[in-house]
Structure formats: structure tokens, C-alpha cells
Amino acid sequence: MAEPNHLLEPVLDWYAENARDLPWREPGASPWSILVSEIMLQQTPVVRVLPVWTEWMERWPTPAALAQEPPGEAVRHWGRLGYPRRALNLHACARAVTDRHGGEVPSDHATLLTLPGVGEYTAAAVASFAFRGRHAVLDTNVRRVLARAVQGEEYPPKATTPAERRLAARLLPDAERAPVWAVAVMELGALVCTARAARCADCPISDLCAWRLAGKPAYDGPARKGQTYAGTDRQCRGRLLAVLRQAHGPVPKDTLDVVWDDAAQRERALDGLVADGLAEVLDDGTYRLPG
């Protein structure tokens, strides 16, 4: 097993040379802009997030600016990022920050966890990247790097375990470097130590990596199934929601019916959108975005 303290300097040096120039990493990035980026980046690649994040920051540069809009506007401008409940979470988060915290994103990790849609990872990321806190930031990329480099395993467990949290805490450097370490490991996982094709020749810790030194043993856990999209309820929901986003008022039911052939699946997806608060059905049977 690689000694954890051997990983720090090579990873930080690599990051200093290879970090992507992303607007939410700029020195002047506001805590709100960082929070928005973290929620948008959940299960979504940077290339898709950048244009939507930029539009949001121009339109809603503060939590108060978003809070005064109806939630449907957040859903409308979420575009095609997927998992649109995140847009509702961000809207609810903006209202909570505005109403309970004077319009300022809280810096305290425990308080961040009380915000709508903010979980363990997001709270740690915002506390670290926006407020320079010393927290273990465990996203999918970080977990994969640590699984390989330290544990000698190709992939981490499906859900974050207490052992992973203890390992991440043990790896944390001093308070000054902890936020940089967190984002550096994340970047290494995103660009080099990727899930499907690890570029070990380009890795700054390849000579320390327990997985590589063990001959890259194949993952022997439960089958890892790739996500399907075509023909799923999720795709159907996306088609229906796209119609509502593009409309400038309520949409007749027959306008929604034509976008998906399977009537039972379409009705199930439409009911799901209403139940999730992503759509509203009016008294006359038309549909619209919430609010």
C-alpha cells in the first residue's frame, strides 16, 4: 500500500501544471457561484455545465436574484443538464440562503448541510473551495483515485463507506493546502485516472500507485452496469419537460402527447414530473412549469 504522505507533493505539483481554467475556480469566484457549479456538476461533465453555469451567473449572480423568480424559471434555464430536480433544489437553496442567512452562503459545514439539496459531498466541497476549510471532499473521481493509489483496487465501493472517509481524513494535509489537495485529486481523477481508461503513463503518482504496482488487478465486485437512457422513463420525462421549458405559457395535453408514443409510459412520466414539483397541471387540464 502506498504511504499516504508520499502522494501529496506529486499530486499538488501536477495540479499546478495541469489544472483546467474554470471560472468557478478563479480567485474572485463567489461562494454562490461555487455552490451552483457543484450542484450542476453532479453526474454531469464540465463541458455541458459551463454554458449553463455562465448563463445562470449572468442572470442570477446572487441567491436573492434567483430566490425572487418562480421555481419554474430555474427549471427552464436548467437546459439539458439532466436530473432537473437539481434546479428545484438550487432554487429552494437560494430562498433558504436569502431568508435564513441574509443572502450569504454559510461558511460552516454543518450549516451548509441544512440547505436543500446539499449533501455530504457538496457541503464539504463548498466549505473547502469557497471558504478554504479543511474537509475531506469525496466525489466519484476522488474515491476512484484513492481506491487505486492507496487501496490497490480498480474501483471504490458503490456507496461511500466509513473506511473511505477515514482514509480521506488521514490524507488531509495542513489547513492551508487541504483545499488545493481536494481539488487536485478530483482533477487527477477527471483527467488521468479515469474510470474506463486510466492514463497511467501520465499519472504523477504511477510509481506509488498500489493498483498499478499490483499489476492492475481487475475489479471483482458486483457487475458495474452502465446507465441506459434511450427508451427510459428518464428520456420520456426529458422530452416532456423540454416542451414545457420552450413554451411561454400553459401547454395543452395533446401537445405533450405527441412527443412520446408509449401512452402508459408517457402518463407515468408526466405524473412523475407533477409529483416531483417539476410541472403543474392547471384546472383546465393544461400543464406548465412550476410557479
Domain end call among 99, 131, 163:
131
pLDDT at site 152: 96
Domain end call among 131, 148, 182:
131
Q: Is this prediction's pTM over 0.95? A: no
Domain end call among 80, 103, 131:
131
pLDDT at site 229: 80
Domain presence at residue 182: no
pLDDT at site 87: 97
Q: Given pLDDT bands bounded at 50, 70 and 90, which one contains residue 291? A: confident
CB burial of residue 102 (10 Å; 0-12, 13-18, 19+): exposed
Looking at residue 251, the DSSP 8-state letter turns out to be B
Domain presence at residue 155: no
**Cβ contact 162:175 at 8 Å:** no
Domain presence at residue 270: yes
Residues 6+ apart with CB under 8 A from 103: 62, 63, 64, 97
Q: Is the pLDDT of residue 2 over 50?
A: no
Structural domain count, the chain: 2
Domain ranges, residue 243:
233-288
Domain presence at residue 274: yes
The lowest-confidence range among 100-109, 220-229, 260-269 is 220-229
Q: How high does pLDDT run on average in the chain?
A: 94
Domain presence at residue 70: yes
Domain presence at residue 72: yes
Q: Write out the catalytic residue numbers.
A: 38
In whole angstroms, give the CA distance from residue 126 to residue 31.
Answer: 7
CATH number of the structural domain spanning residue 279 = 1.10.10.10
Q: What percent of the chain has pLDDT over 90?
A: 90
Domain presence at residue 223: no
CATH number of the structural domain spanning residue 126 = 1.10.340.30
Upper half-sphere CA count for residue 151 (Cβ side, 13 Å): 18
Quick: pLDDT tens for 237-253.
999 999 999 998 999 99
Domain presence at residue 11: no
When pLDDT is averaged across residues 110-125 and rounded to a whole number, the result is 96
